[in-house]
Each structure stands twice: as structure tokens, then as C-alpha cells.
Structure 1
């Protein structure tokens, strides 16, 4: 199949904006009651959007201790687990190790490498949605912004300033909260809409067969 190009940032900007979650639907557990409610909601979900955030490293060779924040989302809400909290670490460990729950996201290779050391368990049930778009000719790094444009027909604005902010902060700014929640919420909505989108795509071109060696009869 010829290489297909995803929408550029400029093309995406012409689309209607992606509707971010209202603040009341973004949860940052802090109390035992918060964690009990988060655990009940997350373990009951068959599919969760998934992403992580780490504080930026500006020194070459600096030790990367893994993510500081784990984000999980259903179509209707998001939970931001700050891993400096013991209860958040335990909940992230339980949810990510549960193979019954499908966790969908983009660019998950680094998470597969870093999470076992950070959480003490191997994550199970991860699905990198970049692989889905690769099957349809878009390459292996489509990313959430282009995927939202392709599948949902919406513009997802991504802030470079937010992505490189201090994710180890004990109190996240409103901008960080909105950015982190969206990075988990968008994948679960894309996953939800993928069957209809895939059904409308051209079938992949058949792979050319290996040429058979020529037989010479004697």
C-alpha cells in the first residue's frame, strides 16, 4: 500500500475543536474515599484510554525514573494518578497489570520499557493505536492529534509548553490537568470510533508473492 499522509497541524486546525472533559469529570484522587471511587470506576471499565507524563530531563545522561503521572480515562471521565502518592502507585499497578482491561494509547513503546521498573509489574492489555494506523498505510507514528483528525474529524490542540512542564509538581496547574486528561480521553474516543472508520478504509494492497524459482526440465 502506498504511504498515506495524516492531516498536518494546519489541516487539523480547520476542523471543529475536540471537546475536552469538563473539570468536574477530571479526578485527581487524594483521599481514601477518592481512591475507592477511582478504583471502582477503573476496574469496571472494559477499555481505558491511557497515557503517562514525566518531568522533563534537560541534562544529558540524567537518570529517568519513569513517569510521574498515569492518566486513565473512560469516554465520560478521566483519572490522573500522581505516583508520588502511595495509593496512586498501588492503583496504577493494579489497573495496568489487569489483562481483562484493554488500555489504549499512542506511542506506548517507552511506557512498556519504563513502567515495569516504576510500578514493579509488567503492564498487560496495552494496545498502541499507532499500530492500527500503520496497517492502513499511515506509518508507525501517527499520534493522537492526527488520529483525532482522521477518525473523529476534530482538531486536538497540543501545547508543547504543557508537554514539557513539571509533571512531578505536587499541585498540577489547570492547564496541566486539562492536557493530561485529554491525552487519555482522546485515545478511548478514537478507539470507540475505530470500527466504523476502518470499515470505510480501502483494503490493504496484497503483498507481492515470492517469485518461484524457474525449473528447467532435462
Structure 2
């Protein structure tokens, strides 16, 4: 199969900017009532964008206590679940083991390894969208930035400074809230447009296998 090349960072930057969620669409539940409202809204969704964040490790041998934040999102809103809160841990567990909700994201290998240990339960119905692009002939790790450029024709930008910020903090900064919410929101939007975009991608010829007995 001929390898397709996804847009690089410079090429993606030339596109219109990805439409991020407004602040009022980003929910960080803290009270019992807020968690109950979050569960009702989330549990009604067939598909959710999904990602996690962990406090970065800067020293060799430092204990990794993450993930510290679970992000879940639709095409309209997002929920940031801070796992130091028992109710957030329980809500994350309920959603991530739910068979009726497909959780979609990019680069989920590490999440599949670390999050079950944190939650005490396996992840169910998780779809790493990188695999969809690989099936079409792209590399194994397209990622959310290149996927947004391909499918949405938009530039999805991530702040390196925010990426390496303290995700175990009790009070997340506005920059952290936007970053985390849109890291789950973008996969939800991409997934909503993915099937239609896939239908426009020319089928790649399969490489013929050599048969020495032919």
C-alpha cells in the first residue's frame, strides 16, 4: 500500500483555526448535584471524545500517580473530571466501562495501560482514531492536529507550555481548562465528520504478495 502523507505542522498552521469550545461549555463538576447532572448528560451520548492528562515527570524514578484528569466531550460541550475527587473517579469508571458509549481519541495506548490501574476497571468500547487513518494508508500515529487538518480543514494548535503544566493542580488555570476540553472535543468533532471524509479518500492498491510456487 502506498503511504499517504498527512499535513505537517507548518501546513496545518495555514488553515482556518479550529473552533474551540466556549468557556460556558466546559464543565468541571465539584458537587454531588453537578456530578449527577454530568452523568445524566454523558450517559445519554452514544459517542464521546476522550483524553487524559497527567502531571509531568521530570526526574528519573519519580512515581507516576497519574492520570490526574479525564476529559470527555461531545461536539457541543466537555467535562473535565479531576481524579483526586472520589466522585470524579467513580464517574470516570462508570463511563469508561459503559458498553453503549464509544469513547474516541488519538494516541490512546498509554491511557489503555495506565487508566485501568487508576480506575480499578478495564476500559470498554475505546476507539483510537489513529487506526482509522492507518487503514486508509496514513502512518500509525496521525494525531489530532493532522487529523483536524485532513478531515475538518482546520488548524488545531496545542500549547507546549500548557501540555507540561501541573495537571494534578486542584484549581486548573483557564489555559488548562481550554486545552484539556478541546483535546477531547476535537476527536468528537473529527469523528462526527470522519465517515463522510473517508468516503472521499481514494482506495489504496494493496501490495501484491510474492508466491514462489506461482
Which category of TM-score, normalised to the shorter sequence, fits these structures?
over 0.9
Gaps of 5+ in 1: none
Counterparts of 2:105 and 2:204 in 1: how far apart (Å)? 23
Q: Considering only aligned residues, what root-mean-square deviation do their CA atoms show, in Å?
A: 1.0
Gaps of 5+ in 2: none
Aligned position for 1:22: 22
Counterparts of 1:210 and 1:92 in 2: how far apart (Å)? 49
TM-score, length-normalised on structure 1? 0.96
TM-score, length-normalised on structure 2? 0.98
Counterparts of 1:200 and 1:213 in 2: how far apart (Å)? 38
Q: CA deviation at 1:204?
A: 2.3
Aligned position for 2:62: 62
Correspondences of 1:40-55 after superposition (within 5 Å): 40-55=40-55
Correspondences of 1:101-116 after superposition (within 5 Å): 101-116=101-116
Structure 1 runs (4+) greater than 3 angstroms displaced: none
Q: CA deviation at 1:97?
A: 0.5
Counterparts of 1:99 and 1:11 in 2: how far apart (Å)? 38
Counterparts of 2:201 and 2:209 in 1: how far apart (Å)? 23
Correspondences of 1:18-167 after superposition (within 5 Å): 18-167=18-167
Counterparts of 2:117 and 2:66 in 1: how far apart (Å)? 8
> Helix, strand or coil: the match of 1:104?
strand
Bigger CA radius of gyration: 1
Counterparts of 1:119 and 1:202 in 2: how far apart (Å)? 41
